[in-house]
Amino acid sequence: MRHVISLLIENESGALSRVSGLFSARGYNIESLTVAPTEDASLSRMTIVTTGSDDIIEQINKQLNKLVEVVKVVDISESAHIERELLLIKVRATGKDREEMKRMADIFRGRIIDATDTSYVIEMTGNQQKLDSFVAAIDGAAILETARSGVVGVGRGERVLKV
Amino acid sequence: MVLTGAEIVVRCLQEEKVEYVFGYPGGAVLFLYDELFKQDQVRHVLVRHEQAAVHAADGYARCTDKVGVALVTSGPGATNAVTGIATAYCDSIPLVIISGQVPTAAIGQDAFQEVDTVGITRPCVKHNYLVKDVREVASTIRKAFYLAASGRPGPVLVDIPKDVCTQKCEFDYPREITMRSYNPVTKGHLGQIRKALQLLLEAERPMIYSGGGVILSDAAEKLTRLARLLGFPVTSTLMGLGGYPASDGQFLGMLGMHGTYEANMGMHYSDVLLAVGARFDDRVIGDPRHFGQEPRKIIHIDIDPSSISKRVKVDVPIVGNVADVLDEMIRQIESGGARPEQDALDTWWKQIDEWRRRECLKYKNSDEIIKPQYVVEKLWEVTGGDAFVTSDVGQHQMWAAQYYKFEKPRRWLNSGGLGTMGVGLPYAMGAQLAHPGSPVACITGEASIQMCIQELSTCKQFRLPIKIVNLNNRYLGMVRQWQELFHGGRYSESYMDSLPDFAKLAEAYGHIGIRVDTPADVEGALREAFKQKNELVFLDFQVDQTENVYPMVQGGKGLTEMILSAEDL
């Protein structure tokens, strides 16, 4: 099962290695991992997308909590939540494909944020599937470069992850 | 008061009432050593290899309730310490390791004796720090001691660059430490404890399975009290030995790969299992699927939530300090008045006594050749069962665990989790320093002892009258046993050729060395050794080369699939 785990960790050097090292040492999967400081600069928020059986996910939660610098861990995918990922994609945009590419970006509510005679950079946010669908929908040969941020997420409604 | 970083480090150690620092100097820690030189409150024990420094600090911590402290230099000093740190980590031993680091400006420049110590040790410490600012030295060391000893204990490393040692700042040792990210639970959940007691009182075939957590939380007396209140059988892991008196009728001996028949059978066929500070590891329960075949309710007390339901699903988890939880259990039983169902318990004990009649630890003694088990039995007799006993790793370790009947906690020091050969002698150093005047025996083998043999020199310098009981079978015994049983008798590289004359070697270091060849001389040699109150005596027992450790559960098999003796093969 796919899970999205969010955690708050002391914003110290090496904090990221402690988390990524835990996953590699214990053989857990990381599909994506993002990290950035929060409004409180002493804390970073990490979002990890992982897969595993219920037992593995339980262990991941416990092991993350055990790290001395981890302040709080929440599996946000356990209840209603919102996930977003940012995609920056540079595509070839020449000839008749140029118009088609713009149309596809519009359909997926992407924005062209850079353009040259031959290329576009399209910015798009959404959940993983939406971005996957867009990448699948355009001509693969036209893709010059993609950069994806990995997933971030928050719980819906009243639930907050805060110290 | 304005002090240098080096002065602050030493002041912190004094504030923590550190008795001994085990270490080895080098370039990056010169300033620290200079400050150690100028005072005499904290005593330094100069080892001959940094691995032994950490092992000795670890041994010191195991047989006291204090934090062990080691001090090493940067680069190779730190890498040599890694085995010691990992050993302590696997057995949850509280240590603070201070390592020197190249000056902050040189970090990342591939400087002389530079290594990423924090990076290398990260997977085998409870936590570690690189202190780049002198103003953080005191608070970091305070945190290190707090982290090492609280919650599930473990080693904490503090890496200090050389220039930080010379910078100055106001010294103020923090009394209180609060960390928003670290709040270990101590008291168990009352509802869970009530649930556990209900299960225990209804049990027909109960079993108490106790582990190293009982030793670490100093809960041996409480465990004994609870077990006696309930009248339940008790088994212990390798790490838990001494947590319940071995001579007591309710004790079934050690369980696991080389556990007793009655302990393994009792564990497997129990209907309610109370696991206390133990973690169901592979050397204890074997194959978890086989273990799961019998339906049973499991209650698990552990301070570390991640130990619970890791290998075996638990029905009633109780997260908390073992001593606190046992206290609460005893209180509730005593005030509640309910007692276990005696008829069922009698039937269960009858079954256990039947298992006991197999006398699985019986071995064929000999007049001709020394049996290693016999040496351990005699050691137990000669020391009145009251010595601090350390061991290395292998056959001799298992014989020590099986035949030295530990009555008290913190008397048995060995590397259970990591299984580090070479710990025996440095552990004995730590134990002897912590308990001067008490008998300390290091049960070892001719292979293990050579892994830290250089420490004979440290023992001489610090006048440590350790008794080394070398069970010399000229083989890597446990490797040879597996090769005999599972690899067609092909003894690949397990024969120890070109051994030194250990008695002469001990003499070369300034100690007494005695070689013992016949069973008739075993007891006399041991008595003679322990008479030497001020000397280290190296007893080199030439033991049966073909002796194997039984009972044995083959790796990956179930607890009931025991090989009881060579005849079972």
Helices within B167-231 (DSSP H only)? 190-202, 212-216, 220-230
Specify whether A55 is located in the same domain as A99: no
Instruction: With H, G, I as helix, E, B as strand and everything else as coil, classify residue B407.
Output: coil
CATH number, position A56: 3.30.70.260
Query: Which of A55, A62, A68 has the CB atom closest to B127's CB atom?
Result: A68
| Residue B542, φ and ψ in degrees, nearest 5 | -85, 105
Q: Is residue A110 part of a domain?
A: yes
CATH number, position A123: 3.30.70.1150
**Which residues of chain A neighbour B123 with C-beta distances below 8 Å?**
21, 25
Instruction: With H, G, I as helix, E, B as strand and everything else as coil, classify residue B134.
Output: helix
- Pull the structure tokens for residue B487: 């690899």
Specify whether A127 is located in the same domain as A148: yes
Specify whether A114 is located in the same domain as A75: no
State the pLDDT at residue B555: 87
Q: Do B372-549 and B2-170 fall under one CATH topology? A: yes
Fold of B190-356: Rossmann fold (3.40.50)
Q: What is the tens place of the pLDDT at every residue in A39-61?
A: 999 999 999 999 999 999 999 99
Interface touch A17/B181, C-beta < 8 Å: no
Query: What does the alpha-carbon distance between residue B433 and residue B462 come to, in Å, rounded to a whole number?
Result: 9
Query: What does the alpha-carbon distance between residue B209 and residue B474 come to, in Å, rounded to a whole number?
Result: 35
Would you state the CATH architecture of domain B372-549? 3-Layer(aba) Sandwich (3.40)
Specify whether A89 is located in the same domain as A107: yes
Show pLDDT as tens, one digit a residue, over chain B (569 residues). Answer: 999 999 999 999 999 999 999 999 999 999 999 999 999 999 999 999 999 999 999 999 999 999 999 999 999 999 999 999 999 999 999 999 999 999 999 999 999 999 999 999 999 999 999 999 999 999 999 999 999 999 999 999 999 999 999 999 999 999 899 999 999 999 999 999 999 999 999 999 999 999 999 999 999 999 999 999 999 999 999 999 999 999 999 999 999 999 999 999 999 999 999 999 999 999 999 999 999 999 999 999 999 999 999 999 999 999 999 999 999 999 999 998 889 989 999 999 999 999 999 999 999 999 999 999 999 999 999 999 999 999 999 999 999 999 999 999 999 999 999 999 999 999 999 999 999 999 999 999 999 999 999 999 999 999 999 999 999 999 999 999 999 999 999 999 999 999 999 999 999 999 999 999 999 999 999 999 999 999 999 999 999 999 999 999 998 899 999 999 988 87
Q: Check residue B517 and give left, alpha or beta (phi > 0: left; psi -120 to 50: alpha).
A: alpha
Q: Give CATH superfamily name and number for B2-170.
A: Thiamin diphosphate (ThDP)-binding fold, Pyr/PP domains (3.40.50.970)
- Pull the structure tokens for residue B197: 């007691």
Specify whether A73 is located in the same domain as A87: no
Specify whether A34 is located in the same domain as A86: no
Specify whether A66 is located in the same domain as A90: no
Q: What distance in Å separates residue B305's CA from the closest CA in chain A?
A: 6
Closest C-alpha to B118, from B96, B139, B101: B101
Measuring CA to CA, how many Å separate B259 from each of B256, B368, B405?
Answer: 5, 28, 13
The number of domains in chain A is 2
Q: Which H helix or E strand runs over B235?
A: strand B234-236
Specify whether A89 is located in the same domain as A75: no
Specify whether A75 is located in the same domain as A94: no
Contact criterion met (CB below 8 Å) for B159 and B104 = no
- Pull the structure tokens for residue B227: 């077990």
State the pLDDT at residue B566: 85
Which residues have CB under 8 Å from A107's CB, separation 6+? Answer: none
Q: Is residue A17 part of a domain?
A: yes
Specify whether A73 is located in the same domain as A86: no
Closest C-alpha to B530, from B396, B386, B372: B386
Q: What is the tens place of the pLDDT at every residue in A130-146?
A: 999 999 999 999 999 99
Range of the domain at A122: 82-152
Q: Is B187 a catalytic residue?
A: no
Q: Which H helix or E strand runs over B537?
A: strand B537-542
Query: What does the alpha-carbon distance between residue A76 and residue A5 come to, in Å, rounded to a whole number?
Result: 6
Query: Which of B180, B304, B309 has the CB atom closest to A66's CB atom?
Result: B304
Q: Is residue A133 part of a domain?
A: yes
Burial bucket for residue B459 (CB in 10 Å: 0-12, 13-18, 19+): buried
Measuring CA to CA, how many Å separate B169 from each of A102, B1, B135, B166?
Answer: 62, 8, 6, 10
Query: What does the alpha-carbon distance between residue B168 and residue B1 come to, in Å, rounded to a whole number?
Result: 10
State the pLDDT at residue B568: 82
In chain B, what are the domain boundaries?
A: 2-170, 190-356, 372-549
Catalytic residue among B112, B168, B313, B334: B112
- Single out the residue in A21, A47, A79 at which a domain terminates: A79
Query: Which of B130, B147, B308 has the CB atom closest to A68's CB atom?
Result: B147
State the pLDDT at residue B314: 96
Query: What does the alpha-carbon distance between residue B423 and residue B65 come to, in Å, rounded to a whole number?
Result: 19
Q: Is residue A161 part of a domain?
A: no
Q: Is residue A163 part of a domain?
A: no
A54-113 residues touching B, CB cutoff 8 A: 55, 58-59, 62-63, 65-66, 68-71
Specify whether A53 is located in the same domain as A102: no
State the pLDDT at residue B287: 92
Specify whether A129 is located in the same domain as A101: yes
Q: Is B267 a catalytic residue?
A: no
What's the whole-number mean pLDDT along residues A12-16?
Answer: 93
